[in-house]
Amino acid sequence: IKNIAVFTSGGDSPGMNAAIRAVVRTSLHYNLNVFGIQRGYDGMVNGDIFPMDAKSVANIIQRGGTILKTARSKEFRTVEGRQQAYEQIRKFQIDGLVAIGGDGTFTGAAKFIEEHDIPVMGLPGTIDNDLAGTDFTIGYDTAINTVISAVDKIRDTAESHDRLFIIEVMGRDSGLIALRSGIGTGAEAILIPESATNSKALLEKLAHGRKDKSSKIVLVAEGDEEGGAFAIAELVKKHFPNYDTRVSILGHIQRGGSPTCMDRVLASRLGVAAVEALLAGRKGEMAGVINGDIAFTPFNKAIKHIDSLTPSLLKIVDILS
């Protein structure tokens, strides 16, 4: 391998820049040429590819977002789009790719490898933490810290007014943002797509739970099947008209901001590991960290996420709230 290209794809996450920096600097360390691709697979299809050097990743480790920009590409989902992308990268003689993103990114990468002879290694870049093969994804730690600082503020006003807040957090298919930030903020209940905890259980808890708390926080993952924070609030209002209930949707603030040290270090370790893996002849795998050690997981396994900790974390919420 002589020429590596790096790109970010799907929803951005804090720490992607630290990962780009690590990929670029590691490539240079091993005397490889390194290119950036703009806007993920869209940029690959359109040939938005440019050479990078040590300076082009200076002063970015602390910045949220991604300097390479990102997109969810429609064209790359077609055979023709992927063919065009392959022709573009061949023009630059790129013979190794590092893809930073989530399940959509790796699904695309797996197809690309199947159809074209190009090694791709992946880095888990998503705030959702919904990938198998790594204990944590790049951006998750920052996102849950953003959530707890927002929920702590809401708790102040909820306590002053004796209110119940239904707070919706991100996580399209996964409740892991809701789960850990729920434990971290002492939420009374958490509604997530992975569990049978549903609105009935919430109503039970409100009816029979502790009566000595003046404020109540319920965290709802946006992927919960029962219709999001407003639907849950309507239900609560119907059954508990005496509660002064409010809704807050945290939204995209969860995707921005300066990455935490944990995310910067994770991104740096994985960026180095991905380039070294390409040099060692690996392909079609995501680099992750499991129990402190670097681990490689094939893309088709990485996208099938089931978090084995979820039931025990849910139990903690129940015991402690």
Which residues are identified as catalytic?
128
C-alpha distances (whole Å) from 309 to each of 103, 180, 246, 315, 316 are 20, 11, 30, 10, 11
- Give me the DSSP letters along 205-272: HHHHS-SS-S-EEEEEETT-TT-HHHHHHHHHHHH-TTSEEEEEE-GGGGG-SPPPHHHHHHHHHHHH
Instruction: Please identify which residue in 42, 128, 141, 168 interacts with ligand F6P, judged by CB under 6 A.
Output: 128
Stretch that binds ligand F6P, among 37-45, 122-130, 236-244, 291-299 (CB under 6 A): 122-130
Minimum Å gap between C-beta 220 and ligand F6P is 13
In 3D space, the residue among 23, 41, 124 whose CA is nearest the CA of residue 89 turns out to be 41
287: alpha, beta or left? (left if phi > 0; alpha if psi -120 to 50): beta
Minimum Å gap between C-beta 278 and ligand F6P is 25
Judged by CB under 6 A, does residue 81 bind ligand F6P? Answer: no
Judged by CB under 6 A, does residue 289 bind ligand F6P? Answer: no
Judged by CB under 6 A, does residue 22 bind ligand F6P? Answer: no
Judged by CB under 6 A, does residue 171 bind ligand F6P? Answer: yes
Instruction: Please identify which residue in 27, 33, 105, 126 interacts with ligand F6P, judged by CB under 6 A.
Output: 126
Judged by CB under 6 A, does residue 172 bind ligand F6P? Answer: yes
- Residue 100 CB neighbours (<10 A): 33
C-beta of 222 vs 285, nearer to ligand F6P: 222
Contact between residue 205 and residue 236 where contact means Cβ atoms under 8 Å apart: no
Judged by CB under 6 A, does residue 39 bind ligand F6P? Answer: no
Secondary structure letter of residue 38 according to DSSP = T
Minimum Å gap between C-beta 16 and ligand F6P is 12
Minimum Å gap between C-beta 86 and ligand F6P is 26
What amino acid occupies position 18?
A: A
Binding residues with ligand F6P: total (CB under 6 A): 10
Judged by CB under 6 A, does residue 259 bind ligand F6P? Answer: no
What amino acid occupies position 265?
A: V
Q: Is 124 helix (H, G, I), strand (E, B) or coil?
A: strand
C-beta of 11 vs 133, nearer to ligand F6P: 11
Judged by CB under 6 A, does residue 15 bind ligand F6P? Answer: no
C-beta of 126 vs 215, nearer to ligand F6P: 126
- Residue 282 CB neighbours (<10 A): 16
Stretch that binds ligand F6P, among 14-22, 83-91, 126-134, 201-209 (CB under 6 A): 126-134
What distance in Å separates the CA atoms of residue 211 and residue 114, rounded to the nearest whole number?
58
Minimum Å gap between C-beta 181 and ligand F6P is 13
What's the N-to-C CA distance of the chain in angstroms?
54
Minimum Å gap between C-beta 48 and ligand F6P is 20
Q: Which helix (H) or strand (E) holds 292?
A: none
**According to CB under 6 A, which residues from 190 to 219 bind ligand F6P?**
none
Instruction: Please identify which residue in 99, 127, 250, 278 interacts with ligand F6P, judged by CB under 6 A.
Output: 127
Task: Give the relative orientation of helices 103-115 and 79-91 as an angle to the nearest 10 degrees.
Answer: 80
Which positions lie near ligand F6P, rule CB under 6 A?
Answer: 11, 102, 126-128, 170-172, 222, 255
